[in-house]
A and B are shown apart, each in its own frame.
Chain A
């Protein structure tokens, strides 16, 4: 199987992730920070070390402001629902994943907040000026994706972050597609909240992720419980990360994520991104000038990550997905990618697109085989 669905989850993982999780769970599988014995202390140290590693990945000065979550969706919900209050106005885009759209819609439907959605260009970019022009006196939050998962286009977040900061608005970034793939620095990009998942770019296991909560932000806890900290108080502790991290964490997952991020840092983010970009470019060059293929998003290499959405003349996306899977052993993702509004904007609703997302472990030969398969399919048009 040639796996080209890395935007859904990266596969395979670095060998060190598998061995780390195996060793960790066999030797240090205690409940961190609860019991005080050697194993519990060692498990807690693993978690705190990971916090520091993640902090390094995003340029976070104080690791305590990094909250572990179960995925990006979990982090986004924690951020949006912990921050917004009655009467707040929120600016977002049409390019968002349902994790953002639905969390906002729920609050909007209950008349707690109002939401404005900013348009994007045909090739998949939001204009910072449009964001600026949408700000009203009650605007509390700008929340958007760094890279829309259906399009792969890198949004101008530094400019938007700056606008947010100048207007004293919280800027929240959904970095599900870019953590571990694009250079990210919460200070340089004026990011107040950053949500990420561990199983994509960070090359970790599923069930991991996190939310960075900047100093300008105070979040309500959205679940309460045991923290291993101040157990006698009836209230949730105010200190981070305890305030937002209740219940036994995904210790083995966090350990695995650490191994993944360490691998990323060792290889170098720029090298990883360059590899994925080179593979995508190769594909774009091979099919981009053939009318039988429709490509979405910009063709400019430096403005996109290794995600390419296409359609093939004469076939539905799900047909292409099924043919690639069973006749050629190639895994891609057809459909809407949980981003219905992005597809409405692209004119690809409701069937969606075929999303091809190579990862760091794919080779040029994988792309050659995909190209050959796509040409074979279009040559048998019915």
Chain B
């Protein structure tokens, strides 16, 4: 082994055995935004040699403030995030096998994308994908590290099936579409993403090197603006007795029962997104959240948001028709960003 990892090997928790383990493991990064960029950077520098990066988006100017792997050149080249990240990371470690996937993690693709993962790192921007990852990982006993941030607030939790409670033990169900703030509506400062991703990768290092006694317990909540660190001791509630996923083995997201349906609308350069459970949106409230984003108009039946060349029409049950594109990935990306899923 070269000197590259000498300082890390010196650290008592890793050692040369730990380092060898890290170099053997396969990590999947779901989402390469603010969290994902920092995670990927730390993972590759720590000696992860097999990294798959899944992201459906292309880099935009508003990403540069916090997504540390991207620069102005990438925007000029109109690069997908997964590809730009891979190119950057490959300069750090030319040996590492880094596989960019420009695509969507959904019930149809998840098996092929996650089946070889030793661990999954959450860098997604929506609850739906997280609940899907949770289903898959609980079912296949793959550890995953939940991470999320908005504003100056971040959340992180280790989920190591079957040892720990899973995401559905804690949250039960995803919040209805259109009811959650997103980084694109409520904003975010870069440091919180960096902090949360750093904790996620630390937890991953512990899991991959079999240091399971050192794991962070429960749901960690950090507000760097208010200087608050809280730990929700979910491990004390232990696993929820009737958790749909880890107790009853009902994988409702994997089975698409609770998963959104996207349809490219016949001939209209528009995509419809809806959730089988629906939602009950207060369109006035949503309008208040979106007024800084673009041109808004609404009545009691629908809300229209114009962002660039796209128009999002949102209905009270959370259904949305995104016009200006036939591409389901772009439509889903816009929905996750502005409406929230």
Contact = CB atoms under 8 A, between A and B. Distances in A.
A382 B319 contact: no
A318 B267 contact: no
Interface in B264-319: 265-270, 272, 278, 297-302, 304, 313, 315-317, 319
B321 interface: yes
B268 A318 contact: yes
Contacts of B315: 322-323, 326-327
B268 A380 contact: no
Given A326-B316, A327-B316, A350 B267 contact: yes
Contacts of A381: 299
Contacts of A323: 301-302, 315
Interface residues of A, number: 19
Interface string A350-366: 11100000000000000
B302 A318 contact: no
A323 B302 CA distance: 8
B319 A326 contact: yes
B321 A335 contact: no
Q: Which of B266, B300, B319 has the most CB of A within 10 A?
A: B266
A336 interface: yes
A327 B321 CA distance: 16
A380 B298 CA distance: 9
Describe B's contact surface by its main secondary structure: loop
Contacts of B266: 335-336, 338
B290 to A, nearest CB: 15
A327 B316 CA distance: 8
Contact of B265 (A327, A335, A338, A340): A335
B301 A352 contact: no
Given A335-B265, A336-B267, A351-B268, A319 B321 contact: yes
A377 interface: yes
Contacts of A318: 265, 268, 270, 272, 313, 321
B267 A327 contact: no
B268 A336 contact: yes
A335 B300 CA distance: 23
A319 B323 CA distance: 11
B298 A352 contact: no
A274 to B, nearest CB: 32
B233 to A, nearest CB: 41
A323 B316 CA distance: 9
A335 B265 CA distance: 8
Q: Which of B270, B297, B302, B317 has the most CB of A within 10 A?
A: B302
A319 B302 contact: yes
Contacts of B317: 326
A110 to B, nearest CB: 24
A247 B313 CA distance: 47
A336 B270 CA distance: 13
A340 B268 CA distance: 11
Contact of A327 (B268, B278, B301, B313): B301
A318 B315 CA distance: 11
Contacts of B269: 350
B231 to A, nearest CB: 41
A287 B267 CA distance: 27
B267 A380 contact: no
A381 B301 CA distance: 10
Nearest to B300: A380
Contacts of A349: 267
A322 B299 contact: no
Given A319-B302, A380-B299, A335 B319 contact: no
Contact of B301 (A338, A350, A377): A377
Q: Which of B267, B278, B317 has the most CB of A within 10 A?
A: B267
15 contacts: A318-B272, A318-B313, A318-B321, A319-B321, A322-B302, A323-B301, A323-B315, A327-B316, A336-B267, A336-B268, A349-B267, A352-B267, A377-B301, A380-B300, A382-B298
Given A323-B301, A335-B267, A340-B267, 6 more contacts: A316-B323, A318-B265, A322-B272, A326-B315, A335-B265, A350-B267
A-B CB proximity, top 4 nearest: A380-B299, A323-B301, A336-B267, A382-B299
